[in-house]
Amino acid sequence: MSREELSDVFRYAFGSLTANMHTCLPGQILLYDPILKKASVKPLIQKKLTSGAYLTLPVITEVPVHHPSSATTLIHVPLNPGDGCILLFSERSMAEFLTLGGDSTPIDVRRFSLNDAICIPGLNSFASPGIVPDGNFFEIIHGLMSMKVNAAGDLTIKNGASTFTLGVDNSISITNSANASSISINGATGTTTINGNLDVLI
């Protein structure tokens, strides 16, 4: 057998071994259960067959969704149909782990299977980047509410027409663009300035 023929044999064998091996794919969330934090996800890249044709991968159900969390803390992102995500595929079956938790022994010998996907929300294409942030801030945006912290540490929270600002110099301001009212406290002097009607109820 020539070197070229041997190379073809190895190439074919390796291709056969990895044909159904999955590592990472972009996906689109179709359904989401916030209680169990699991989703139905559509993989967005087709599989190329040896014939040269392309196969649309099936929707993957019961996919665990990763949100940063611990025993006492959770950062949860509400997910909607059409949201982008990244799918990672476990090297061993996750069925027993997902059912029982803790140390588990996989019964199925499958590896890197579509059935063992993990969803991490937030991956979008450059064509549809989603919400565009201000690149100069640490920022959280949810609907009409946004929270920004700049490099100096100044905090700004907006909710509709209302804006709350807390400066590192201890200054505080609250403004409402709908009626041009505002309250500000000078961090250095403690002087409070009110612009608008003030009702004092006793």
pLDDT at position 51: 86
Distance between the two ends of the chain, CA-based, in angstroms? 99
Question: Band of the pLDDT at 19, cuts 50, 70, 90?
Answer: low
- Lowest pLDDT segment from 72-81, 166-175, 182-191, 192-201: 192-201
What one-character DSSP code corresponds to residue 110?
-
Mean pLDDT across 161-177: 95
- The residue that leads in pLDDT, 202 or 196, is 196
pTM: 0.81
pLDDT greater than 80 at residue 105: yes
pLDDT at position 21: 86
Which residues are registered as beta bridge partners of 86? 26, 120
CB 31 within 8 A of CB 81: yes
pLDDT greater than 90 at residue 68: yes
pLDDT at position 190: 86
Q: Which residue has the tokens 């023929």?
A: 5
Q: What is the pLDDT of residues 27-45, one digit of tens each?
A: 999 999 999 999 999 999 9
- Per the structure block, which two tokens stand in for 26? 């972009």
Give the list of residues 6+ apart from residue 24 with CB closer than 8 angstroms, or none: 86, 87, 88, 89
